[in-house]
Structure 1
Amino acid sequence: MSVTSKLHKLTELAKEKSSDRRRDLLREVTDLFFDAPPAGDSQAQGQFEDILRTLANETAQDARAELADRFADTPFAPKGLIRQLAADAIEVAAPILSRSSVLTEEDLVTIVHETGQAHIQAIAKRDTVSERLSHAIVEKGDDDTVATLIRNDGAQLSRTTYEEVARRAEDSEALQGPLVERADAPADLLNDLMVVVSRTLRDKISQRFDKLEPGVLEAALAASQARLEKRMSEDKALNEARRYLASKQVRKELDGSLLVSLLREKKPVHCALGLAELTGVDYFTAKRALEHKSPDGLALICKASGIEKALFVTLAVLRSQAADNAFNDAREIGAIYEQLEPEQAERALRFWKLRKQAAAA
């Protein structure tokens, strides 16, 4: 019996109402498709697609999942069927979204904008993810989804996309590890994270910097500082704080006591700028250290700069992100300072100072 005759017979059988019979029919039609793959855009291809889509619509989810898995690696699969399966429940759609070459970049970008996180995450696992598609995933994906993308060595990310991921990573531990571990993550963006990541990740960033040629490192740090300076320029309170602190410096009143007073008076911009002046780091690094939920970055700056533990603890409990019961945790906060190795702290501080110097050069 010819393929056309078999298709005609199966088309008639597809009118069966029994769900078990429809499942069997779906397998029979699928087997027939793979036994004699029709040419693209042929009449037979159209017939296969119509029958498969009709049966898939009327069979149980596990049968559709089986169908999706069989067609996921087939470059000549009917496109209408693939699009239908891609929009199905994630249990059905996952193999199509993560493996099918039938879906174009345009198809995938549209799916990212129209579906939920499970579907987007499946797309993020594809062997190859274009820059445009990666940007869409970062734009619409939650942190877990974006972390999946960053861990994918086959994902291509533009500079703009990397910058967006780095900005989000400032407040997301879920993104920090994957970004630091990614081989092609821009060095200057990793430097932006030094003050907010864990000790282990900070060490990994420093180790990567140690392997860079001096000129490459200098350029990366300068780019990092230039970007932060641009963000600083949007801070309207900064100019007023600079004038205020300049007057304090003239009177030799810029010290730890002033920083504490500024935090008590709810002047975080003034305090961050004062901390930057006292320690030699840039304003933005000091600002993030004071604003971040963890006191680790602040401890690093204070330890490396020779600021005593008592002052560090006071600043840590007064900053805006400190917990309500921070005073009760003073001992634990002090332990963070004590556990820091001076060499480790000084190493991180060296990169922040290099960045500031590179931008000024």
Structure 2
Amino acid sequence: MAVISKLNSLLELAKERSSDRRRTLLREVTDMFFDEPPERDTPVSQEFDDVLSALAEQTAQGARAELAERFADTPLAPRGMLLKLARDAIEVAAPILARSTALSEAELLSIAEQGAQPQLKAISQRELVSERLSDTIVRRGDDETVAVLIRNDGAQLSRASFETVAERAEHSRILQAPVVNRKDTPADLLGDLMLTVENHLRDHILERFDGMEPALVEQALAASHARLSERMSQDQDVEEAEKFVRGMAVRKMLNGGLLARLLREREMTRFHVAFAEMTGVDRVAARRAIDQECIDPLALICRSAGFDKALFVTLAVLRSNATEDAFRDAKELGLLYDRITVEDAARAMRFWRMRRDVAA
């Protein structure tokens, strides 16, 4: 066949030592392919695959990157060459991994299982990412990689992957915005994040809840409360702490001074129970507000409960068992507290107290 004969002649020329000449030949063969693309699994297609693969192996990375860019969008790309490019350096592989529809799911899964974070990021940007691929990326990817996946509306996520990502987001600001902003994030998982994210993201969650049927919101918050309660280790002295708090309430000593003392002395179970009782949230919310890095939930709860600024600042500083140096942040904490309106705090607390009531 004339095409095959010409390809063989070009391949012979490729034995020249000049890298510029080999790059020119690679472009010529590529032009021949696109001028009249052969049917898949034909002798001509196989010959193109052999010649292009051989030429690509003999050319510099820049030429291979150019080749990958040209073949990334054609479903008829020679498969042998395509797989070699997909497993090449990320500068070459990226367009193939991100765009090629000629790669099968099995081939992409194999690359995802073995590839580094740049390969996983490229796959995460595909127009369609299957659940199996997403599961692998969530399992192997770091937070930045998983954030790329979550931002991709074409990525299909299983319930298990959503739960994994939401749990990771509780401790990763990189993941919080992508999870909260994603339209199909399950509502109960958003309920988990209400206690960890910053105020602007919490507002987004509240807007979504406001648009839902009340019964569905109750179901979501109940599921969130049950899951977090199960995950949270059960303190052995909860019963004793509850008895202690009831006693302090009877003696009218359940106040800010008690909270500060319990937190300073690291009597955490008593503190969690007392804080929950004084603010009207459940013990899960009380514990998370103190334990996590983000200060916003603690500020909202304190503002809604009517705590004065000095008590909030004291709790905010003491919660990390900080030294006196931490009091340098007191002014900034006070300014943050002043910026929270009673209305904003009440809106958030409406859902937190709904969690408590549903659980009860």
| Greater CA drift, 77-86 or 262-271 | 262-271
TM-superposed CA distance for 1:228, in Å, is 1.0
Q: Does 1:248 align with 2:245?
A: yes
Aligned counterpart, 2:335: 335
* Structure 2 residue matching 1:94: 3-state secondary structure: helix
Mapped partners of 1:225, 1:137: distance in 2: 28
1:15–1:287 distance in 2 versus 1, CA, 3 Å: same
Conservation of the 8 A alpha-carbon contact between 1:293 and 1:321: no
Residue deviations 1:198-255 (CA, integer Å, cap 9, x gap)? 22111111111111011111111111111112112xx14x131332232331342543
- Which deviations, in whole Å up to 9, do the C-alpha atoms of 1:123-151 show, x marking residues without a partner? 11111111111121112222222111111
Amino acid at match of 1:332: E
8 A contact 1:14–1:51 mirrored in 2: no
Letter in 1 for 2:358: A
Distance 2:244 2:288 in 1: 24
Contact 1:316 1:322 in 2 (8 A): no
Q: CA 1:83/1:324 → structure 2, altered by over 3 Å: closer, same or farther?
A: farther
Residue 321 of structure 1: CA displacement?
A: 7.3
**Alignment-derived partner of residue 90 in structure 2:** 90
User: Given the superposition, is the C-alpha separation of residues 35 and 160 from structure 1 closer, same or farther in structure 2, using an over 3 Å criterion?
Assistant: same
Query: In structure 1, what is the equivalent of residue 71 of structure 2?
Result: 71
Map of 1:282 onto structure 2: 282
Are the equivalent residues in 2 in contact too, given 1:188–1:221 (CA < 8 A)? yes
Residue-pair matches, total: 357
Per the alignment, residue 193 of structure 2 pairs with 193
Query: Who is 2:50 aligned against?
Result: 50
Cα separation, 2, equivalents of 1:130 and 1:52: 30
1:143 aligns with 2:143: yes
Return closer, same or farther for 1:242/1:248 CA change in 2, 3 Å cut-off.
same
Moved more, 270-279 or 198-207: 270-279
Whether the aligned pair in 1 keeps the contact of 2:198 and 2:294 (CA below 8 Å) is no
Q: Kindly tell me: are residues 65 and 140 of structure 1, through their superposed partners in 2, closer, same or farther at Cα, counting changes over 3 Å?
A: same
- Equivalence for 2:236: 239
CA–CA separation in structure 2 for the residues paired with 1:270 and 1:58: 71
Structure 1: tracts of 5 or more residues without a match: none
Structure 2 residue aligned with 1:119: 119
Structure 2: distance between partners of 1:92 and 1:223? 46
Identical aligned pairs, as a percentage?
55
Q: 1:283 to 1:342 in 2, by over 3 A?
A: same
Residues 1:351 and 2:317 are matched in the alignment: no
The one-letter code sitting in structure 2 at the alignment partner of 1:308 is D
Kindly provide the amino acid, as one letter, of the partner of residue 90 in structure 1. Answer: I
Give the TM-score of the pair, scaled to structure 1: 0.93
Match of 1:26 in 2: 26
Aligned partner letter, 2:208: R
Q: For 1:82 and 1:250, how far apart are their aligned partners in 2?
A: 73
Matched, 1:312 2:312: yes
* SS across alignment from 1:239: coil
Verify: 1:184 aligned to 2:181, yes or no.
no
CA distance in 2, matches of 1:262, 1:210: 36
CA RMSD of aligned residues (A): 1.8
User: Structure 1 177/88 Cα, relative in aligned 2: closer, same or farther at 3 Å?
Assistant: same
Q: CA deviation at 1:287?
A: 1.6
Alpha-carbon separation, structure 2, partners of 1:353 and 1:248: 20
